[in-house]
């Protein structure tokens, strides 16, 4: 309804101007009405991955806000015919299949009277204003009882720029699935058809899993649950990351070990962030406590028979690196351990074997109390290399793209490429006291661009 304000009782920045349910352009065949979740999908939580794409009005399309919305709705309908499970429903968070009933996806339009660039600079990742960019509160774990798998909100700004807020349930896929879907949708918008030669390579692939009739147990939510956390962004230019790689190599040689082979930007930066965060926690506590680094890894190319990047679902392995003493947080030691863990994910014979990776994590922890481990765990997710910054609906590439995080989320780091591709942006979630120490660490700041 026009004029209805979002999130009553909160700081109100957006006004809803339309709401529509977009259904697939063609009816899903009866033999596809049940989409069974894979062994790894079943381990995922029914929480939402919220993607933000910022688009300025500096394009030559000459399309009005209304025309842009209409094109996006039409192409979304076409894309949902290909991604047919996304237009279905998950009856409960523990149902082992998606009911592909073509109920459709909610598409909300909202307006904001501010300038997009001003809004982008002022927005805070831990601020409730981020949530207002997404339809029906489908933001992180705020709507665990929603049956919807996808939500879209198109946010119009007074300058003509827009923000696309897309939420996708982790039950249906991982970060790679999210970028595949929005890249497909954007390309259909741009070229007008799912049959266009530029769109064909982006069409989804589905792995059909066997039916399981029983209801699953609820996946454990790995979150500390505190509300005294803060989120801050740090930018690391590629020139500084090259310096960091050189430092890691020098440290490995000084330790009388063979030089680390081709350390990646993500590996060296994750090591630096983890070392700095653990040092901050140690400084606050007055003593070192054994800690853990967990890293989700895309494993589509780790299978014996490699899977295409357009394969829909959760194809993720988890690397776990324990640090039992302070010396093990050394940059070179951390990078070396990451490479060892990554090598163990090679040659996966099946999805079932990949799912076992999750189950063995608890065995690796031995007799340690899982709740105590969670308190001392840092999660690092990297979306570097994923083409979020290239998603073009026909009016240019985004001026920025990121997954939104909440300060109430688990502590750790989210890494994405900078919009110009010349570095990495790190969203860091830490407890407030730790962040105060972290953000003043001289070694970390020597590789960081102050913004």
DSSP label at 182?
Answer: H
The helix/strand/coil state of 148 is strand
pLDDT confidence of 72, banded at 50, 70, 90? very high
Q: Report the relative pairing of strands 311-312 and 205-206 from DSSP bridges.
A: parallel
Report the pLDDT averaged over residues 273-294.
94
DSSP label at 131?
Answer: G
- pLDDT at position 212 is 62
In degrees and rounded to multiples of 5, residue 287 shows phi and psi of -160, 155
CB 112 within 8 A of CB 59: no
Enumerate residues 6+ apart whose C-beta is below 8 A from 237.
418, 422, 423, 449
Cα–Cα distance measured from residue 112 to residue 63, given in angstroms and rounded to the nearest whole number: 19
Window from 311-325, 352-366, 425-439 with minimum mean pLDDT: 352-366
Which of 47, 299, 51 has its CA nearest to residue 170?
Answer: 47
pLDDT tens for 85-101 read 999 999 998 899 999 99
Which of 78, 68, 111, 24 has its CA nearest to residue 393?
Answer: 68
CATH class of the 4-206 domain in this structure: alpha beta
Q: Which CATH number is correct for 229-445, 3.50.50.60, 1.10.287.70, 3.60.21.10, 3.30.559.10?
A: 3.30.559.10
Which residue's structure tokens are 């897309």? 166
pLDDT at 272 over 90: yes
Intrachain domains 4-206 and 229-445 with the same fold: yes
Enumerate residues 6+ apart whose C-beta is below 8 A from 349.
303, 304
Spell out the domain ranges in the chain: 4-206, 229-445
Instruction: Give me the chain's average pLDDT, please.
Output: 87
CB 386 within 8 A of CB 373: no
pLDDT at 73 over 90: yes
* Residues above pLDDT 90, as percent of the chain: 65
pLDDT tens for 399-409 read 888 888 765 56
């Amino acid at each position: 309804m026009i004029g209805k304000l979002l999130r009553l009782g909160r700081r109100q920045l957006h006004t809803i101007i339309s709401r529509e349910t977009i259904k697939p352009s063609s009816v899903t065949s009866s033999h596809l009405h049940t989409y069974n979740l894979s062994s790894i999908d079943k381990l995922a939580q029914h929480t939402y991955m919220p993607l933000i794409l910022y688009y300025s009005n500096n394009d030559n399309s000459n399309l009005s806000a209304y025309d842009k919305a209409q094109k996006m709705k039409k192409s979304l309908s076409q894309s949902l015919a290909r991604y047919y499970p996304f237009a279905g429903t998950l009856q409960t968070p523990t149902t082992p299949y998606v009911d592909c009933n073509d109920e459709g996806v909610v598409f909300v339009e909202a307006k904001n009277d501010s300038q997009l660039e001003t809004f982008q600079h002022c927005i805070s990742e831990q601020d409730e204003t981020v949530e207002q960019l997404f339809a029906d509160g489908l933001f992180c774990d705020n709507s665990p009882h929603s049956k919807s798998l996808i939500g879209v909100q198109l946010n119009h700004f007074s300058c003509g720029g827009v923000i696309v807020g897309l939420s996708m349930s982790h039950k249906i896929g991982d970060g790679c699935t999210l970028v595949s879907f929005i890249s497909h949708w954007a390309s259909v918008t741009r070229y007008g058809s799912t049959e266009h030669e530029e769109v064909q390579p982006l069409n989804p692939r589905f792995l059909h899993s066997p039916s399981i009739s029983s209801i699953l147990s609820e996946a454990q939510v790995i979150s500390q649950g505190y509300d005294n956390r803060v989120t801050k962004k740090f930018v690391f230019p590629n020139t500084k990351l090259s310096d960091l790689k050189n430092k890691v190599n020098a440290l490995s040689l000084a330790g009388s070990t063979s030089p680390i082979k081709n350390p990646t930007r993500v590996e060296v930066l994750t090591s630096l962030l983890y070392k700095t965060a653990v040092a901050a926690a140690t400084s606050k506590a007055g003593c070192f406590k054994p800690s853990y680094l967990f890293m989700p890894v895309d494993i589509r190319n780790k299978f014996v028979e490699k899977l295409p990047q357009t394969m829909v679902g959760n194809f993720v392995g988890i690397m776990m690196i324990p640090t039992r003493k302070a010396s093990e947080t050394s940059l070179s030691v951390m990078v070396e351990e990451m490479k060892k863990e990554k090598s163990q994910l090679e040659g996966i014979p099946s999805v079932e074997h990949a799912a076992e990776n999750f189950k063995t994590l608890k065995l690796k922890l031995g007799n340690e109390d899982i709740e105590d481990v969670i308190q001392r765990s840092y999660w690092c997710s990297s979306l570097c290399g994923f083409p979020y910054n290239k998603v073009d609906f026909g009016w240019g590439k985004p001026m920025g793209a990121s997954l939104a995080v909440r300060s109430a989320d688990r502590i750790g780091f989210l890494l994405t490429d900078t919009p110009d591709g010349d570095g990495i942006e790190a969203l860091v979630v830490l407890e407030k006291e730790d962040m105060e120490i972290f953000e003043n660490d001289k070694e970390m700041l020597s590789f960081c661009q102050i913004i």
